Amino acid sequence: MALLESMGLEAAPLAKRLAGARVLVVGDVMLDRYWFGDATRISPEAPVPVARIEKMEERAGGAANVARNIASLGGQATLLSVVGDDEAAGALERLMADAGVATSLKRDASIATTIKLRVVARQQQLIRLDFEDTPSREILADKLDEFSALLPAHDAVILSDYGKGGLAHVAAMVTLARAAGKPVLVDPKGDDYARYAGATLLTPNRSEFRQVAGRWADEAELSAKAEALRSKLALDALLVTRSEEGMTLFTDAGALNQATLAREVYDVSGAGDTVIATLGLSLAASLPLAQAMTLANAAAGIVVAKLGTAVCRQDELFAL
């Protein structure tokens, strides 16, 4: 409760505001599969460990994990994406239903649903196997029509780009959402951010921002590069997540830095999903951006202490 008190917020009224906030999440989804076991010997066939699998888990990843975080924080999430017409798509739909997320998953029989299979032994990841395809243009065009239809019923839009091809029409989505007066938050990918021009907020991590803006020698140079990108893309704000250095928000008011609140870092996978989910839900609930950033920073600190693609629950956040 100390966190909320420091922000001038109370738990009950905030929970009510979050419960009424509706966020449309669009992007690349995947099914994260975890095979847990033990590895006590080396294979006689090759110099690799032999994992004896004892337990298997399935979790929703990518944009699906963003939506799952929104629901876990007490908000309303709708997930729009493209999947294959296969068993993994059915698994994703069940996971989303169990999480309380509304879904519009477009089935494309020509592709396989993206799967990331991780083999974990003694708390260490031995290998990750990826299975993925690019959706067809026809399915993506259909998704854009659905996006337009869903917009009026939502308070904010999150575009979660994992570079799997599901956001081929991202520029049109940004334009449509801004024209409808909705804040648009983008978790970017790649080295071409031009397609995100006009968005409300971009949330690259440190390495992603460096890929686009180049290296910086000090905070002043970082700020200059951030402002140059913000001006070029006509962004309201840019949030750079900086791992152990916390996160920095760049707006017209200048740069605002917050130190990391992580007490223990166990697994950083999915932390970016939690950050943008918390930001999007907070803005949908009409919280100021600075407060949204504080909540996102705290939620990320909770998630990195968990294994794999995890979520931050509202009770965990409010208990800080």
Q: Which residue has the tokens 């949204």?
A: 292
Cα separation of the two ends of the chain: 5
For residue 223, report the phi and psi dihedrals to the nearest 5 degrees: -60, -40
Q: What percent of the residues of the chain are helix, what percent strand, and what percent coil, each to the nearest 5?
A: 40, 30, 30
Type of residue numbered 221: E
| Burial (CB count within 10 angstroms: exposed 0-12, middle 13-18, buried 19+), residue 179 | exposed
Distance (Å, rounded) from C-alpha 8 to C-alpha 287? 12
Q: Closest by alpha carbon to 202, among 218, 221, 217, 183? A: 183
Distance (Å, rounded) from C-alpha 36 to C-alpha 34? 6
The CA–CA distances, whole Å, from 145 to 6, 83, 140, 173 equal: 43, 17, 9, 10
Catalytic residue among 28, 155, 187, 273: 273
Give catalytic status of residue 273 as yes or no: yes
Distance (Å, rounded) from C-alpha 68 to C-alpha 189? 20
Q: Closest by alpha carbon to 147, among 63, 221, 205? A: 63
Residue 23's SS3 state is: strand
Across the chain, where does the E strand assignment appear? 22-27, 29-42, 49-62, 76-84, 102-108, 115-121, 124-131, 156-160, 184-187, 201-202, 237-241, 247-251, 254-258
- Longest distance between any two alpha carbons in the chain, whole Å: 62
**Catalytic residue ranges:** 273
